[in-house]
A and B are shown apart, each in its own frame.
Chain A
């Protein structure tokens, strides 16, 4: 279980103001909200990538901000993080990038053949052909392939939790649908808890067991997808309508 306790964070202006909620084990949880409402910041707090002004996050009982270095390291090995633009290491090829997803201690004692097998399996799981991409640099891959390598790096360490930061941003509708299918398949096959921050409301509502909406630094809604669609809250309604209009516009442009 992941618990966010009274999260406060401000940069130049307040971003998160007292956000609290929890995500149950095995759940697929979506986080929506207008741009700049702190969705990605919230996701980053799950593994301590951003310092908080106040509050704490606990992941399966370990505290991110009060548990010390050892606790944070344990959490990070338990969590796979898929970055918005994949964040692959430019100077490393696909094999080296995915291999970095294996915990350091594990990597030290593993045989080279076993490492290769784990990297190979992870790439196959994300529908890439390992022999075609293993020695390629990130700059030689398409946007969709980079995203898949980023996912392979996140899952190669067999995490119990997957955090997805805008997994479909920058992808065309075909790739978006493919990545969404991949997210659902991986979450079921790997039996992980997932938190997905996304601007793709329709996709998020189809994938997630529960969703939350952030607005103005506060949690505006938390509940099941159907309740979100039918929410009487005018702010939620306006957001859902705007998202539907944007999705329709995207379809027309395609």
Chain B
């Protein structure tokens, strides 16, 4: 017969946080291991020419072409807001043409790549997780294995390559549209002419900034599909499981984009 519990309250208080740390550490290690494995399998699928170019083109259409309208709307709004706020702060203190530099730098270095990535997390990342999650819970992923096909080569690799190709193009579009929107907004609301705006923009322009912007885009274009696929393939538990995993995936991707974004300045802007 079991005796009374000898566990003291103090021990329980110590055990709980330790158990939480253990659980979180195990989860982080599990995610890291599975993500690494996914990337390695994807690389092997490319190396062994198992990836269909047709699937890659289809995914470029879904991830890239179909995202153009929402990326343009986001970039226009970002350009207008930057221009308006900059104008509000500079009026009467700094020559207004500096606004050109502020808008270009803000859009190219930060808003273009980050806002595009955040939009893609919602439009593309959530869709990939939900799609693969549904395939997982309805045994379609098992069916790939049963038919002797590699789901990584057929589902993951085309999406990852498409992300790496399409996102830099989307960011380039967002950069151009954002700057143009900021320029037009400055003209209409602050009376700053296009020539003055462009003069200010050229004053502090570095070609490196464009590389920096596109480097961010490539990294985000890789991270979003990799995380969304990884989360989709981990899905368990029917429709509710798909919902839970998609929410977790969106949080995971958003945080990853913001953390990666924070790592860029110390690495590439020194």
Whether A85 lies near B145 (C-beta < 8 A) is no
In the assembly, what is the distance between CA of A44 and CA of B149, in Å?
16
Q: Which of A138-182 contact B (CB under 8 A)?
A: 153
**Chain B residues with CB under 8 A of A88:** 140, 143
Q: A85-B138, A87-B138 are in contact. Are A77 and B143 (CB under 8 A)?
A: no
- The complex places the Cα of A104 from the Cα of B150 at a distance, in Å, of 11
| A100 to B143 Cα, complex, angstroms | 10
Closest chain B residue to A40, Cβ basis: B139
Q: Give min CB distance, A151 to chain B, whole Å.
A: 13
Could you say which residues of chain A place their CB within 8 Å of the CB of B145? 47-49, 76
Any B CB within 8 A of the CB of A73: yes
- Cβ of B2 under 8 Å from chain A: no
Residue of A nearest to B58 (CB): A91
Q: Which of B130-152 contact A (CB under 8 A)?
A: 134-135, 138-140, 142-143, 145-149
Determine the chain A residues whose CB is within 8 A of the CB of B147 once the complex forms.
76, 100-101, 153
CA of A77 to CA of B145, assembled, Å = 10
Interface core residue of B134, B139, B142, B149 (most chain A CB under 10 Å): B139
A81 to chain B, nearest CB (A): 4
Q: Which listed residue, A47, A89, A103, touches B146 by the CB 8 Å rule? A: A47
Residues of A18-47 at the interface with B, using a CB-CB cut-off of 8 Å, are: 44, 47
By a CB distance below 8 angstroms, the chain B residues around A90 are 134-135, 140
Contact of A76 among B134, B139, B148 (CB under 8 A): B148
- Contact pick for B139, options A48, A87, A100, CB 8 Å: A87
Which A residue sits closest to B142, measured CB to CB?
Answer: A49
Query: Interface majority SS on A: helix, strand, loop or mixed?
Result: loop
Number of interface residues of A (CB under 8 A): 21
**Chain A residues near B149 (CB-CB < 8 A):** 100, 104
Choose from B134, B135, B138, B146 the contact partner of A49 (Cβ within 8 Å): B146
Query: Contact between B142 and A44 (Cβ–Cβ < 8 Å)?
Result: yes
Measured in the bound complex, the distance between the Cα atoms of B146 and A113 in whole Å is: 25
Chain B residues near A73: list those with CB within 8 A: 148
Interface string of A188-207 (1 = CB under 8 A from B): 00000000000000000000
In angstroms, how far is the closest chain B Cβ from the Cβ of A58? 18
Check B143–A89 contact: CB distance below 8 A: yes
Interface residue A84 (Cβ < 8 Å from any Cβ of B) = yes
Q: Are A87 and B142 in contact (CB under 8 A)?
A: yes
- Return chain A residues, CB-CB under 8 Å to B135: 89-90
A94 to B138, CA, bound (A): 17
For residue A4, CB closer than 8 A to chain B, the reply is: no
Residues of B within 8 A of A103 (CB): 148
Q: Give Cα distance in the complex from A87 to B149, angstroms.
A: 14
Q: List the B residue with the shortest CB-CB distance to A80.
A: B146
Is A239's beta carbon under 8 Å from chain B? no
Could you mark each residue 149-168 of chain B with 1 if its beta carbon is under 8 Å from any beta carbon of chain A, else 0? 10000000000000000000
**B residues neighboring A (CB under 8 Å):** 134-135, 138-140, 142-143, 145-149
Which residues from chain A sit less than 8 Å from chain B, CB to CB? 44, 47-49, 73, 76-77, 79, 81, 83-85, 87-90, 100-101, 103-104, 153
Task: List 18 additional contacts besides A49-B142, A83-B143; criterion CB under 8 Å.
Answer: A47-B146, A48-B145, A73-B148, A76-B145, A76-B148, A79-B146, A83-B139, A83-B142, A83-B146, A85-B138, A87-B140, A88-B140, A89-B135, A90-B134, A103-B148, A104-B148, A104-B149, A153-B147
* Closest 4 pairs (CB-CB, A-B): A87-B139, A81-B146, A87-B143, A76-B148
